[in-house]
Structure 1
């Protein structure tokens, strides 16, 4: 594992962060851990990785903006599965026991009703 230069990593991270977010981050260092804008404490190696990620995101963002406008999404019409509803009272619909019987009948295999039914 190579040794990281603290000053270089912090400068790279600050530049990448400033380019991505438009403002400089506040980095607090405490015994080998670094907190960016009061967030989670991370090690120097993680700051180096985040700097690379921010720089890579900045390189990819203009390419996305210049891409062709997307065509409207095609609607995929799938037949909607009928769902039985459980209604309370005597207004029609299925009881809980009837609903379970229907669900278990649709499944393949040896299925039984829940206990107490």
Structure 2
């Protein structure tokens, strides 16, 4: 997973925002969240996506590639009546007469 460079994304967003609105945005950063002009807090990837919404392409900052989701394998169903536990239980009883099976 590639990480976005914070400084590049903010610079590209500031340039796109200034071009679209005629003024520079006030960006507040707090704990990985960014607030633009006192609005809703968003993540860095959302700022990167907003660059294209403002009318310029984010060629300077490549978007992070999405990971393909891994599918879990279905649990295997028992197809035969064979059980290792019962196999060894019968083996112990046949080899040793009068022996109790362990718990």
Q: TM-score range by the shorter chain?
A: 0.5 to 0.7
How far apart are residue 56 of structure 1 and its match? 4.1
Partner of 1:39: 39
Distance in 2 of aligned mates of 1:26 and 1:16: 13
> Could you say what secondary structure the match of 1:55 adopts?
coil
* Structure 1 spans left out of the alignment, 5+ residues: 58-117
Partner of 2:22: 22
- Larger fraction in helix: 1
TM-score for the superposition, normalised by structure 2 = 0.52
* Structure 1 vs Structure 2 CA RMSD: 1.4
How do residues 1-117 of structure 1 correspond to structure 2 at under 5 angstroms? 1-56=1-56
How far apart are residue 55 of structure 1 and its match? 2.6
* Structure of greater Rg: 2
> Could you say what secondary structure the match of 1:9 adopts?
helix
User: What do the CA deviations read for 1:62-109 (whole angstroms, capped 9, x no partner)?
Assistant: xxxxxxxxxxxxxxxxxxxxxxxxxxxxxxxxxxxxxxxxxxxxxxxx
TM-score for the superposition, normalised by structure 1 = 0.46
User: What do the CA deviations read for 1:17-72 (whole angstroms, capped 9, x no partner)?
Assistant: 00000000000000000000000000000000001221349xxxxxxxxxxxxxxx
Corresponding pairs, count: 57
